[in-house]
Amino acid sequence: MRYLPLSDEDRRRMLATIGAADIGELFADVPADALDPPLDLPKHKSELEVERILGGLAARNRTASEGPFFLGCGAYKHHVPATVDHIIQRSEFLTSYTPYQPEIAQGTLQYLFEFQTQVAALTGMEVANASMYDGSTACGEAALMARRITKRKRVVLSGGLHPHYASVTRMSSELVGDEVEFAPISVDAREDLAHLIDEATSCVIVQNPDVFGNVRDLRPIAAAAHEKGALLIAVFAEAMSLGAIESPGAMGADIVVGEGQSIGNPLTFGGPYVGLFATREKFVRQMPGRLCGVTADAEGKRGFVLTLSTREQHIRRDKATSNICTNSGLCALAFTVHMTLLGEAGLRRAAALNHDAACRTADALAEVDGVEVVTPAYFNEFTVRLPKNAEAVVEALAGRGVIAGAPGGRLWPDEPDAENLLIVAATECVTDADIDAFARGLGEAL
């Protein structure tokens, strides 16, 4: 049956109340040529017909598990234990997605508290919030936070920052009147950002590992930023890397943001994901989002509370630090469950497996004629330069059943030097057979 809750009489009364003669008047501001002729949409279908049509569309997708898969560049295929999915579906956690009356949702508050604790430990920072939408929007929020702290209006972006993160940050900053300075893309991370920092700079944003896979020492740029009174915002797109490389906090970062999808969350064709956000305690009141804390009730029993709520849903819009109005609660829970199952030792072992897979992949590709590995130090992702257009090579390998990586031309369409670059990711899910198929297929494609 069709779901038609309103009768003709209901519609007549509603139109009379708002003073419209007919429904057409409600669309008076829409250009006539957009409504006439009507949109060419198929007629309504039965439930079974819809299921078959949508099933056919879904079948045209290829999942990351159907063959050799080396695509990363911000979203990574990792093994997620079945235990994660089992636990996040328990009734203790399947409560309202955002706690407007927070203290009655103790299960939600507890896992958010644990989530914050884990993120702070991973990033080497003192406080973390109760999650953001994703890594790119967290990066944009960090730039706005630096603006509030420093009272300055200039943002410097590293050439190794993922272009999607850079795009979101530019949009957020320019909307409030800030100047955004882009450093040239830097494949080998040999960029000099210090000369771009001046007394008007609020922050410098650097990714580690960067979009090309380079593992960087953030200390020099942190010192250069602090000398001018600017903040260092450290970004990561691969959370698994924090199990192998030194934390951004230990290298002098003031704000750390990134994507947590790698831990507990599958690729799911691009989302939903979970943004991580951590900072120094002295900046906590300028941090966007919410902060969960632990206390004791009148009987001395432990309880969880919302300690800080600076979102526009909780306080006046002009006083809010962020107008992002929710968090990725279920994804944050999956992150926390997976991290709890791994523990520190497990995370370090998983990170070591990732690095080993990347080394084996890089060694195999370097043996292919015409292929040059251009990333000197990497975690599980690196960049190669090919003797021909990388996008064409990726398409050719896809025809052979190998998803080879991210071609530079898609990320930087206006950069001729990026056309032959291919960004390759190898996680613990990559096998020796996958690597052999990739290397063999790449040789054939070239």
User: From the centroid of its chain, how far is CA 308?
Assistant: 24
Residue 185 has a pLDDT of: 93
For residue 270, which of 435, 106, 94, 64 has the smallest C-alpha distance?
Answer: 64
Structure tokens at 240: 């698994």
Which structural domains are found in the chain, ordered by start?
82-339 (3.40.640.10), 344-445 (3.90.1150.10)
Burial of residue 299 (CB within 10 Å: 0-12, 13-18, 19+) is exposed
For residue 76, which of 331, 402, 425, 362 has the smallest C-alpha distance?
Answer: 425
Structure tokens at 109: 């508050």
In order along its 446 residues, the chain shows pLDDT tens digits of 466 788 889 999 999 999 999 988 998 888 888 777 777 777 888 899 999 999 999 999 999 999 999 999 999 999 999 999 999 988 777 655 555 666 777 888 889 999 999 999 999 999 999 889 999 999 999 999 999 999 999 999 999 999 999 999 999 999 999 999 999 998 988 999 999 999 999 999 999 999 999 999 999 999 999 999 999 999 999 999 999 999 999 999 999 999 999 999 999 999 899 999 999 999 999 999 889 999 998 999 999 988 887 665 566 666 777 777 666 888 999 999 999 999 999 999 999 999 999 999 999 999 999 999 999 999 999 999 999 999 999 999 999 999 999 999 999 999 999 999 999 999 999 999 999 999 999 999 99
DSSP 8-state code for residue 183:
P
User: From the centroid of its chain, how far is CA 115?
Assistant: 16
Output phi, psi for 204, to 5 deg. Answer: -115, 130
- 355 within 8 A of 172, measured Cβ to Cβ: no
Residue 16 has a pLDDT of: 95
Structure tokens at 228: 């001018």
Strand, helix or coil for residue 97: coil
Residue 109 has a pLDDT of: 87
- 266 within 8 A of 247, measured Cβ to Cβ: no
- 255 within 8 A of 283, measured Cβ to Cβ: yes
- What one-character-per-residue DSSP string does 121-153 give? HHHT-SEE-S-BS-HHHHHHHHHHHHHHHH---
- 78 within 8 A of 265, measured Cβ to Cβ: no
- 362 within 8 A of 425, measured Cβ to Cβ: no
Residue 312 has a pLDDT of: 56
Identify residue 256 by its one-letter amino acid code. Answer: V
Structure tokens at 340: 């709890």
Q: How many CB atoms are closer than 10 A to CB 112?
A: 26
Residues 6+ apart with CB under 8 A from 203: 142, 143, 146, 147, 150, 155, 156, 225, 230, 231, 232, 233, 254, 255
Residue 1 has a pLDDT of: 47
- 163 within 8 A of 220, measured Cβ to Cβ: no
